Each structure stands twice: as C-alpha cells, then as structure tokens.
Amino acid sequence: MARVTTRHAGTESELAELRSKYVPRGITSSHPIAADRARGSELWDTTGKRYIDFAGGIGVMNVGHAHPRVMRAVRDQLEKATHTSFQVVQYESYLRLAQRLCDAAPIAGDKKAIFFSTGAEAIENAVKIARAATGREAVISFRGAFHGRTLLALSLTGSVQPYKQNFGPYAAEVYQTPFPYSYRGWNTEAALADLGNLLESEVGPKRVAAIVIEPVLGEGGFVPAPFDFMQKLRELCDRYGILLIADEIQTGFGRTGKLFAVEHSRVEPDLMTVAKSLAAGFPLSAVIGKAAVMDAPDPGGLGGTYGGNPVACAAGLAVMDVMRDEKLPERAARIGSVVEERMRTWAAETELVGEVRGLGAMMGMELVRDRKTKEPADSETAKILAAARDKGLIILRCGVHHNVIRTLMPLTIPDEQLEEGLDILGAALGA
C-alpha cells in the first residue's frame, strides 16, 4: 500500500514538546505514541512501528479503519457538499439514515431519529426529549455509568476519577443507584432493592422522567446488566410511566453479537442513544425512539449546527450496509468466544484475573491483587497495557478502579490478527 506522507512530519520528541506546550494536561492519551495511519485492524505510528488495534478509537471502528465502502461513500459525499446544516437545508442521507436506524431499532411501532455529533450530545438530547414527553424533571442513572463529559451527561456519569473531579456543581434532579455488578456485590435483587429505596426515600417515581442505562456498563468496567434486571427495570418503568433510555453508544453496532445490546434481553427501550461505531470515526450520534415521545419537543427545540453532517451520514449509511453484508454482529459473537476462551485460560493460570465477563466481542477481564479481597490491580493493569503496546498491541482499560482490560477490536479483524493480538496480551499478562 502506498504510504501517505504528512506535510508536517515531526519527530517523536517534537510532537511531545508541542503537546506539553500547547495542549492542556486535562486531555490524556492512553498510549504515548503518535498515529500515522490505520487500515483494518492495524495501526502504524510515526516511527513506522505496526500495532494490532484492540481499541478501535474507543469502540468506534467496528467496521475497521478505512473500510473501502465507507471511504467511497465519504469521497462521493465530499464531492457534493460537506455541510449545509440540516437546520438550513435538508439532505437525503440524513433522512435515509434516520429511516435505516428506525427500522433497525428494537422498538415496536412508529419511530423517529434525530442526529447530533457526539455521544454526550445524544444523551443530553435524550433527557431533554424525555422531560418534554413526560413533563417530569428527575432522571436516574447508575453508579459507574459513563454518559459523556458535557455538564448534564457528566451529572449522569457515576464515576469521579478522572471524570467528575473539580467540575461541579452538577445538574439538578439527577439521582444515582447501584448498577447490577455482581462481582462487586450487587446482584439483580440487591440493585433493584436499592432502586426501590431511592424511589421511596429520595425521589417519588411520579417525578421521574427517565432511567438511563448502558445495557453493558462500558467505561465502568464492561459489566453486562443481567437480562432479568433489564426486564424488571422495564416493568418498573411501565408501572410508573417512566421512560427507559438505553445508552447504546459503546454497546451498539454489532459489538455484543446483536446490532444493539438490548436485543439480548428482549427489552424495548423508549429511547436509545447511539454514536461511536455508527459512522466509523466521523462524528455522528443519534437519538432514536418512539415517534410520540420523539415528537414531544416543540419545533426548533432540538438541533445543532453540525448535527447529522452529510459526510458523517454518508459514512453511517455505508456502515449500515457493511454491518448487514459482512454479518458483523455474528462475527462479534465468534470473536467474543475466541477472546473469552483465552481470558478463561489466563484466569486459570494467574490469580491476577479476578473475573472474565462480557457480551459478544465486548469482553473484559477484571484484575485484582487478591481474589478474596478483590483489591483492584490498577498499577499492574497499567503495566500490562504498556508491555502489550511495546510488543505491538494497542488495548485499553476501563472500570471505576481502572483495573479492567477490555477488547474493542474492529469486528472485521482477520483471525490471524485476532490470535496475534491475544498472543501479545497473554505474553504481557505473563510478564
């Protein structure tokens, strides 16, 4: 493949100097390398070193870097128009993608979809829509949840370090309850009991507009919500007229073995937020939901200059085609079973692996210093990621205690590269 050279190709030390001089320390990078180019499931840094990519730009590249069909769709759109703002002049790709998402969303009846640019924006707007539809103010989210870094999304986020420190006061009428995270003490019954207590002692259910849940806790540690918990949550929402919002921003687009993770539990949310792998790296997010709920805000109440950018929508349409034609949800299930088998082998070999869990290719491994006390092995996790990187694998961690190694490789990854990446991870773990 012809190597594309950048006009300003700085040395590693030049880049490091630029970063420390001009970029605030508040934004960090998991790995101290600079990307030059990426294709499929491989990434090359500016020194020419090759890596297997198990991070996919934080779960964004489910169809792989530079998928030819996405690139073609984007190139075609670039030739036509890069931006008109849907709020000024509409365009067909927005409307077609809205139709595709509504058809694909696991919600019965008429549906509608609206586009934004980031995950946080989708969350903010889902809450606005829920409030307008119910005439209620309160919103409930879960401890350990991550919903984004804007103020309302951050208020809904249930993890202090590094997200919430120093940034208060937070939005009013946000309440938090434990996620059903059985490894750390909350099974379905315990989590439901705590939610019941919250509704009795802090916020009456008739004041609650929505409950927002990630069907698999993402940044919070790759913890799948038990399906019976999701079903009980749906029942509770129905009982009190509360809207259920599924945040599918990280779980979406085939990652868990279905297009959307809620499909595993057969629970129908009222609203869903999607972003990340929706458009293969082009900034695009959406809220999809029941038509009557989505139509609650008055005309002009929703939008944003860039929301549903035409280049991003063209990418999104191509992603939907690739998902279908390459059967990527099925491929995710296969990848997940390969990864899980390896992780279970490591768990049998080393005490460091406290729990292996996940759904489809969204697999995580929680590392602990002691299996009884479950003391989080956070510094050990950091060392393993660094060792893996040195050996040629880009992989991320997550978890409130920063001790969960998670897999977010492109679902198009060839078997040999999947094995190669797992071999590197296994060697890093052993070291």
Ligand X SMILES: Cc1ncc(COP(=O)(O)O)c(C=O)c1O
What separation in angstroms does the CA of 182 have from each of 78, 251, 260, 290?
Answer: 48, 19, 23, 32
Q: How far is the CB of 247 from ligand X (least distance, A)?
A: 5
Nearer to ligand X, 214 or 366 (CB): 214
Of 288, 275, 297, give the one whose Cα is nearest residue 114: 288
- Residues 66, 38 contacting (CB under 8 angstroms): yes
Among the listed residues 141, 306, 158, 283, the one whose alpha carbon sits nearest the alpha carbon of residue 209: 141
Q: Is 396 in the site for ligand X (CB under 6 A)?
A: no
Sign of CA dihedral 358, 359, 360, 362: negative
With respect to ligand X, which residue has the nearer C-beta, 285 or 417? 285
Task: Spell out the residues 6+ positions from residue 100 whose beta carbon is closer than 8 angstroms to its own.
Answer: 317, 320
Structural tokens at position 23: 């970029």
Looking at beta carbons only, is 278 or 352 nearer to ligand X? 278
CB of 4 to ligand X, least distance (A): 26
Among 74, 105, 120, 320, binds ligand X (CB under 6 A): 120
Q: Is position 275 an interface residue for ligand X (rule: CB under 6 A)? A: yes
Smallest distance, ligand X to C-beta of residue 251, A = 7
∠ CA 224-226-230, rounded to 5°: 105
Report the 10 Å Cβ neighbour count for 29: 10
Check residue 216 for interaction with ligand X (CB under 6 A). no
Task: Please list, in sequence order, all residues whose beta carbon lies within 8 angstroms of the beta carbon of residue 249, skipping any fewer than 6 positions away.
Answer: 119, 122, 123, 214, 218, 273, 274, 275, 276, 285
Out of 77, 118, 134, 403, point to the residue binding ligand X (CB under 6 A). Answer: 118
58 near ligand X, rule: CB under 6 A? yes
| Binding status of residue 223 toward ligand X by CB under 6 A | no
Q: How far is the CB of 250 from ligand X (least distance, A)?
A: 4
How wide is the angle at C-alpha 200 spanned by C-alphas 196 and 206, nearest 5°?
Answer: 95
Residue 123 binds ligand X (CB under 6 A): yes
Among 155, 250, 403, 417, the residue binding ligand X under the rule CB under 6 A is 250
The residue number with the shortest CB distance to ligand X is 119
- What's the min distance (Å) between Cβ of 348 and ligand X? 30
Nearer to ligand X, 342 or 357 (CB): 357
Least Å from the CB of residue 214 to ligand X: 5
Query: Judged by CB, which is closer to ligand X: 118, or 403?
Result: 118
Binding flag, residue 332, ligand X (CB under 6 A): no
Find residue 405's DSSP bridge partners.
Answer: 365, 397
Q: In angstroms, rounded to a whole number, what is the distance separating the alpha carbons of residues 192 and 210? A: 16
Q: How far is the CB of 180 from ligand X (least distance, A)?
A: 16
Locate 295 and state its tokens. 């139509």
Of these, 97, 249, 286, 319, which contacts ligand X (CB under 6 A)? 249
Q: Is 124 in the site for ligand X (CB under 6 A)?
A: no
Task: Please report, as residue ranges, which positions from 403 to 422 form the binding site for ligand X (by CB under 6 A).
Answer: none
Q: Which residue's CB is nearer to ligand X, number 219 or number 270?
A: 219
Residue 43 to residues 36, 61, 154, 263, 277, Cα–Cα distance (Å)? 8, 12, 31, 32, 17
Which parts of this chain interact with ligand X (CB under 6 A)?
A: 58, 118-120, 123, 146-148, 214, 218-219, 247, 249-250, 275
